[in-house]
Amino acid sequence: MKLRALVGSGDKIGLLALPFVVGGLAINLWRPAIFAVGGPPTALAIVSLVCLVPGVTIWAWSVLLILTKVPRGELITTGPFALCKHPLYTGVALLVVPWVGFLLDSWLGALIGAVLYIGSRLYAPLEERALAKELGPAWDAYCRKVLLPWL
């Protein structure tokens, strides 16, 4: 099994986000008040935890499915993949990174999450074309039945 099949577009998305992560962390170390959200306030902490529980669950479930099914050449259509085509990218970008940032009293996570999501939207089509070529009609059928195909 090639590592590329497991990683998908993750390396490209990571490289796109890397300057924002490094720059943001450097600025945060230099002037932490720039990214501070004020505590976080209780309401923001609660919302963060409410978002993190499904986010981490989706991430872990997606990783497990990728590690067990992709090496066997199986198309994943169940679990979080029944909801959207790229639950790992989407979950980390929208439900994990921003909310961890808020819990750490920083909106830097929201910025990094947005960059990760933009990266996933930029690079996922390349991955999808490769999957369509490799899996043919099975990929087409999956695309027709996935609940949120744009995520």
38-76, pLDDT tens digit by residue?
Answer: 888 999 999 999 999 999 999 999 999 999 999 998 999
| Per-residue pLDDT band at 17 (split at 50, 70, 90) | confident
Contacts within 8 Å (CB) and 24+ apart, 134-142? 135/75, 138/75, 139/75, 142/75, 142/77, 142/85
Task: Read off the pTM.
Answer: 0.84
Contact (CB, 8 A) for 45 and 103:
yes
Nearest to 96 by CA among 117, 73, 75: 117
